Amino acid sequence: MSAAHVGTLRTGPRVVAVGGGHGMAQVLDAVLGYAGSITAVVTVADDGGSSGRLVPELDIPPPGDIRRCLLALTPADSPWRHLFEYRFAGADVSGHSLGNLIIASLADIEADFESGLARAKELLGSVGSVIPAAPAHLRLTAVVDGRTVEGQEAISRSRGRISALGVSPSGITASPHAIEALLSADQIVLGPGSLYTSLIATLIVPGIAGAINQSSADLVYVANLITQDGETLGMDAADHVAALLDLAGLRPPAAIVAASGTVDVAPPLEPVHVDPKAMAFHGIETVCAELADPEAPWPQHDPARLGRVLAELAGRRSQQPNQATGGTA
């Protein structure tokens, strides 16, 4: 893979994170502590907020989740960081993130979205690479309680059982750089985040799940701390895993990382319950640890705590002889 698409940090495993949203940024922060290289493969189905306004006009993948991932991999003292985080409060650009506008501008200047991201990475000094799952925006369609719902935002608000999920238009396949990163990874981390509209939306891009299934990487699923209104009400970890396997056609993860201890949340939301016996049925190891950020106003993963668990799982692989990937990067 070209230098523009891989961020080498030091000796350590090649880690690829898959998904989107705020949960993806927390995983990338966690991975920074032990990875030799980091690649984020990010959803292109977002149609809300600033991204939702830019995508139809500029015909680019939605930049919002991609920007969050770039910033998660950017040193705190980067002079560009505050500019990419800035959000306008008035006039025609009200609600737009300046970072989204910069990414869109760089894509236009470079005449290619991924080349524009490589330039953004250089400006920020990001230590890893961020790759859109596909080279174009994809529209998400779901079957919820038997009815068809279109668009990521609408699906995320639709209470009910999601029995099918698809992307359009047809004929668009995964970014070759995303496929290459997945095939060469030592560890692939899925989640946390919106199960259907971030994670599975990325996995169903043609070629992504196939590359994960073909890869010799250890596959790790980070369970959400709580259920999500509109997508996963009433679902436990076994239901989450079943959706990954059934809707995305994914191989079972080697391990699921779940939170121990108490996670306080008001009904109808509830902590995501993990039954080790149900996980073992699929050959999945359950790894429980204190993962919640005690300082956060809303239940979310603490990157330092999560990083220690993921590093331990990656370390097990490095101690096994004759790995197909050749050990650590």
Q: Is residue 328 part of a domain?
A: no
Structural domain including 314 reads: 7-46+129-318
> What pLDDT is recorded for position 59?
79
Residue 95 included in any domain: no
Counting the structural domains of the chain, the total is 1
φ/ψ (deg, to 5) at 83: -65, -45
pLDDT in tens, 278-307: 999 999 999 999 999 999 999 999 999 999
Residue 305 neighbours by CB under 8 Å, 6+ apart: 289, 290, 291, 292, 293
Chain segment 167-181, per-residue pLDDT in tens: 999 999 999 999 999
CATH code of the domain covering residue 289: 3.40.50.10680
Provide the pLDDT for residue 90.
Answer: 62
List, for residues 53-112, the tens digit of each pLDDT value: 666 667 789 888 999 999 999 999 998 998 998 888 766 666 678 888 999 999 999 999
Q: At 51, is the pLDDT very low, low, confident or very high (cuts 50, 70, 90)? A: low
Distance of CA 112 to the CA centre of its chain: 22
Identify whether 66 is part of a domain.
Answer: no
- Burial grade of 292 (CB within 10 A; 0-12, 13-18, 19 or more): buried
Flag whether 259 is in a domain. Answer: yes
Residue 216, domain member (yes or no):
yes
User: The pTM is what?
Assistant: 0.91
236 part of a folded domain? yes
- Quote the tokens at residue 180: 């290459």
- Which strand (E) or helix (H) includes residue 21? helix 21-31
Closest by CA position to 20, among listed 54, 64, 84: 64
Give domain status of residue 258, yes or no: yes
Whether residue 32 lies inside any domain: the answer is yes
Angle value at C-alpha 39, between 34 and 45, nearest 5 degrees: 135
